[in-house]
Every structure is written in structure tokens, then in C-alpha cells.
């Protein structure tokens, strides 16, 4: 049975499954891809879902023209729940929390370190991190590559973003942030529940997590203070140094609290997502020997076009973030429907990426589909879109190229199981449920680095 929804003004919304919100939430939590496929089969490009605990339904869309209409309106706000989930961790000044003019001013200030030629200055440190990580992998033993990618991306953030290169603070940040990230990635969001409950009396059972956050703050503020004392601050290449010296239009700079909030933002947004994207890419490549062989051959020839296409195809077929929604500030008219202001709307990213009218053989892993031309702006949206598109998208893709190039030229990897990974939920991400177990059959010594870095 279908349910036709109406908003407070009596306007019909796309239909939703005729099951209680609690059941919809369970299906989304435990079998999200099957739930999305079932809704597309029954309702088409647009439908509504209602999650337990939310007053309003969420309208999911997958038609690129509808997504274009949604993302091209910069005044739409954020959907509910983001502040409750994220603010206790990233802080009120986070780019993920801010809206309107405040968000845009911060975004303009933070964009330069993540684009263009700036990427070149990060490559040497990234290479060193990847080389060191590969040297720790056991030979002829099964291990989950997802967790190794997490360790690698955390190290990149600590050294390239935070600018912490060595010493006791690096060790303590590595340990404490690792614990915090494990908690924030839990599928049940235990830490958020604990922080909310703590507001209503007593430290609660999650006091340890709050203590970890306080320790992280102490370490980050100490690092910020040390950065301020550096005589070479203006010449340093780490992203924290660049943020400290960048000026808003009125000539002011970020204060320490905001610097802390943006560092936590970059950590939360850039660690788990990039590691997961890499794990999915290895899962796909190791199950497709022809594509893997072609990629190895192209890397040996010094050609990275197929590498870029591989990453694009992997992010199409295995997008890490499933939703990137808005709360409408004004009516949305698209795809034969009119959604009133106040409606919560989001692209269903995986559904858009697997449309047969956009991608022939949509479930096939075919990197060559992106060799001649890149994807359409609103048909490929793994990083969201418009003024809220992931600020670190270019950084993430660059890091993926560095990691894949180094691993595939040094290592002979095999999947521990021929079966494809199933998606599991880690907080808001779709992650490989088993962690992508692999076996390292052989490992070459680290190569001499090329005189010229990879192109951006």
C-alpha cells in the first residue's frame, strides 16, 4: 500500500512506502541499498521517506534536472539534525554547521589551500606516509585494507592539514583522534546520544568520550599556539598555517576557537570518507583483473588518465555519502512536481549514479566510460553540489591518486574472498561491511620519487 503525503499547506508530496517510520528507519539503517532500489522500483525518480524521530518526511530525488534545480538555489538551508549530530564534535563555527553569509565567507577563505597548484606541495608528505604504511603490511596474511586506509588518511590530516610532523603531540593526537573517530563512525551514533543525555543531568555513560574531546581540544589549542610563535608561519605549507594567515574581506583572521572548529571539520569530513572511498576502489579493482591490469600498465607508462577515470567510476558506483540534502527556502519546481518551501529534499546519490539513461550498464565497473569526457555536473555528485559541495573534494581525489599509484606499483594484492563487499553503515557513510580483507602476496621496495609531481 502506498502513502500519499501532504505538507502543512495541503500540497501532495511524492509517495512513501506504506510502512511505519520505525520500519523505514530500520531498512535504511541495515539494508540501505535494497531499500533505495525497492523505492525506485515502486515509485520512480522521486519518493518520500519518514525516519523515526523526525517531524517531516524527506523527499529523495534522482533526476539530474531536479538536482540541478535544488543545488542552484543558494538560499536553501540545511536539513534538520545536522547541528545535533555534528556540533558537539566540530563546534558552532564549523563550515558544516554555518549557513548563509557566514558560511560563504568561511568557504571563500578556506578554499585556496584545497585547489590548483597547492596540491603539489602536499605530494611529498603524502608519498612518505603511504610508503611507510605499506612497509607495515604483513605478507601472506589476511588483513582489512579499510583500517589501513584509515590509518593512512589520519596521518595525512595530522601532517598535511594540522602541520604536526613529529614529537609527543603527534603521538597523542594520533591515539586520541583515532579513538574519537572510531566513536563518531559507530553506526548507532552512541557518542551523540551520550552528549545529548549528558545535558539533562550527570555525566552519563559517555563521559569518557567527552573527556577524549576535551583532550583533543587541549592538544589542538597547544598546536595553534605553537604555530603562532613560528617565525616562518607565512611560508609554511600545512593547511593550518594557511588558515591562520588568511584574511576575511574586512581584514580580520580566524580566532583560535574557529581554527579548532575548522580543523575538526576537516578531520571529520576528510578522514573516514577518503579511507572508505579507497577501500571501495580496492574492492572493485581486485575483483576486475582486466581493469586492474590496464591501470597498472598505464601507471607504468606514466599515464594517469586511466587512474583518474578509475577513481571517478569508483565514486560513481560506490558513493561514500548517500545523501546531501537541503531544507527548501522557496518552492522547488522540477521533474513534474512542485515541492513547497520548508520541505526537506535530498538527492539519492546512489540512485542518480545508477540510472541506465545516464550510464549504460550502470552496475558494471567500467572506468573507460570516463576517459573521453568527465561526468555531467548533476549526474555525478559524490561530493554534493553547489555552495555546499565538499570543500576538500580536490584534495581527496588527489590523495586517492597518490595512494593508488603507490600501492599498485609496489604491491601485489589479492582479495581474501572473491565475493563483492556489502555496504554497511558507519554513521552517515556507506562503508565496506567486512573492511575489504586482502592478502599481500609481494611487496617491492619504495621507488625513487619522480622529479616532477603528479599533475593536479
Confidence of residue 426 (pLDDT cuts 50, 70, 90): confident
The stretch 413-419 carries a mean pLDDT of: 93
**Does residue 39 sit within a domain?**
no
Q: What is the pLDDT of residues 163-217, one digit of tens each?
A: 998 889 999 999 998 888 887 766 445 444 454 445 445 555 567 778 888 999 9
**Does residue 108 sit within a domain?**
yes
**Does residue 131 sit within a domain?**
yes
Burial group, residue 53, by CB count within 10 angstroms (0-12, 13-18, 19+): exposed
What 3-state class would DSSP assign to 213? helix
What is the pLDDT at residue 9? 45
Its pTM stands at: 0.91
What 3-state class would DSSP assign to 148? helix
**Does residue 89 sit within a domain?**
yes
Confidence of residue 48 (pLDDT cuts 50, 70, 90): very high
Domain count, the chain: 1
Q: What is the pLDDT of residues 329-360, one digit of tens each?
A: 999 999 888 999 999 999 999 999 999 999 99
What is the pLDDT at residue 204? 58
Instruction: For 424, list phi and psi in degrees, rounded to 5.
Output: -125, 165
Pick from 395, 442, 148, 128: nearest CA to 279: 148
The stretch 313-321 carries a mean pLDDT of: 96
Burial group, residue 311, by CB count within 10 angstroms (0-12, 13-18, 19+): buried
Residue 442 confidence (pLDDT) above 90: yes
Question: Which one is predicted more confidently, 372 or 141?
Answer: 141
C-alpha cell at 105: 565567507
In this predicted structure, which of 127-141, 297-311, 324-338, 420-434 has the lowest mean pLDDT?
420-434
Q: How far is CA 441 from CA 129, 153, 270, 447, in A?
A: 21, 23, 30, 18
Confidence of residue 73 (pLDDT cuts 50, 70, 90): very high
Query: In which domain, by residue range, is 213 found?
Result: 62-443
Residue 397 confidence (pLDDT) above 70: yes
**CATH code of the domain in which 422 resides:** 1.10.630.10
What is the pLDDT at residue 270? 87
Is there a contact between 1 and 19 (Cβ–Cβ < 8 Å)?
no
Length reported for the chain: 456
**Does residue 258 sit within a domain?**
yes
**Does residue 73 sit within a domain?**
yes
What 3-state class would DSSP assign to 204? coil
**Does residue 162 sit within a domain?**
yes
In order, the DSSP letters of 234-275 are GG--SHHHHHHH---TTS----HHHHHHHHHHHHHHHSHHHH
In this predicted structure, which of 72-81, 286-295, 350-359 has the lowest mean pLDDT?
72-81
The stretch 407-414 carries a mean pLDDT of: 97
What is the pLDDT at residue 256? 96
Average pLDDT, whole number, for the chain? 88
Residue 234 confidence (pLDDT) above 50: yes
In this predicted structure, which of 59-68, 196-205, 340-349, 405-414 has the lowest mean pLDDT?
196-205
Residue 455 confidence (pLDDT) above 60: no
Distance CA 350, CA 316 (A): 8
Residue 413 confidence (pLDDT) above 50: yes
**Does residue 20 sit within a domain?**
no
Distance of CA 374 to the CA centre of its chain: 20
Backbone torsion region of residue 251, taken as left when φ is above 0, otherwise alpha when ψ lies between -120 and 50, otherwise beta: left
Packing angle of the helix pair 21-30, 32-43 (nearest 10 deg): 120
Amino acid at each position: 500500500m502506498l502513502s500519499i503525503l501532504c505538507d502543512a499547506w495541503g500540497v501532495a508530496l511524492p509517495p512513501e512506502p506504506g510502512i511505519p517510520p520505525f520500519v523505514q528507519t530500520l531498512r535504511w539503517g541495515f539494508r540501505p541499498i535494497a531499500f533505495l532500489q525497492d523505492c525506485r522500483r515502486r515509485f520512480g525518480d522521486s519518493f518520500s521517506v519518514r525516519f523515526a524521530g523526525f517531524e517531516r518526511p524527506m523527499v529523495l530525488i534522482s533526476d539530474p534536472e531536479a538536482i540541478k534545480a535544488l543545488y542552484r538555489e543558494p538560499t536553501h538551508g540545511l536539513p534538520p539534525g545536522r547541528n545535533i549530530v555534528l556540533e558537539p564534535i566540530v563546534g558552532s563555527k564549523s563550515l558544516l554547521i554555518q549557513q548563509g553569509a557566514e558560511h560563504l565567507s568561511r568557504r571563500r577563505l578556506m578554499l585556496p589551500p584545497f585547489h590548483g597548484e597547492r596540491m603539489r606541495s602536499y605530494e611529498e608528505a603524502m608519498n612518505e606516509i603511504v610508503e611507510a604504511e605499506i612497509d607495515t603490511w604483513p605478507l601472506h596474511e589476511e588483513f582489512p585494507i579499510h583500517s589501513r586506509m584509515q590509518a593512512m588518511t589520519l596521518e595525512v590530516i595530522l601532517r598535511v592539514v594540522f602541520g604536526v610532523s613529529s614529537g609527543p603531540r603527534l603521538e597523542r593526537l594520533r591515539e586520541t583522534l583515532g579513538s574519537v573517530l572510531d566513536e563518531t563512525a559507530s553506526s548507532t551514533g552512541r557518542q551523540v546520544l551520550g552528549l545529548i543525555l549528558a545535558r539533562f543531568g550527570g555525566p552519563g555513560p559517555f563521559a569518557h568520550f567527552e573527556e577524549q574531546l576535551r583532550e583533543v581540544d587541549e592538544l589542538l589549542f597547544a598546536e595553534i599556539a605553537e604555530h603562532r610563535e613560528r617565525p616562518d608561519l607565512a611560508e609554511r605549507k600545512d593547511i593550518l598555517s594557511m588558515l591562520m594567515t588568511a584574511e576575511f574581506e574586512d581584514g580580520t583572521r580566524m580566532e583560535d576557537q574557529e581554527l579548532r572548529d575548522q580543523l575538526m571539520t576537516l578531520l571529520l569530513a576528510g578522514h573516514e570518507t577518503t579511507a572508505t572511498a579507497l577501500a571501495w576502489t580496492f574492492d572493485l579493482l581486485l575483483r576486475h583483473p582486466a581493469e586492474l591490469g590496464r591501470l597498472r600498465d598505464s601507471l607504468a607508462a606514466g599515464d594517469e588518465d586511466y587512474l583518474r577515470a578509475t577513481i571517478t567510476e569508483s565514486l560513481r558506483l560506490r558513493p561514500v555519502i548517500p545523501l546531501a540534502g537541503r531544507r527548501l527556502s522557496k518552492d522547488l519546481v522540477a521533474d513534474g512536481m512542485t515541492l513547497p518551501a520548508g520541505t526537506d529534499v535530498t538527492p539519492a546519490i546512489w540512485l542518480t549514479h545508477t540510472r541506465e539513461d545516464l550510464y549504460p550498464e550502470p552496475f558494471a565497473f567500467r572506468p573507460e566510460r570516463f576517459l573521453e569526457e568527465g561526468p555531467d555536473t548533476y549526474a555525478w555528485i559524490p561530493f554534493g553540489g553547489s555552495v555546499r559541495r565538499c570543500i576538500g573534494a580536490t584534495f581527496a581525489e588527489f590523495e586517492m591518486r597518490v595512494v593508488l599509484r603507490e600501492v599498485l606499483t609496489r604491491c601485489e594484492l589479492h582479495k581474501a574472498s572473491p565475493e563483492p563487499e556489502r555496504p554497511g553503515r558507519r554513521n552517515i557513510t556507506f562503508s565496506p561491511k567486512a573492511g575489504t580483507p586482502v592478502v599481500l602476496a609481494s611487496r617491492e621496495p619504495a621507488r625513487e620519487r619522480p622529479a616532477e609531481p603528479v599533475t593536479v
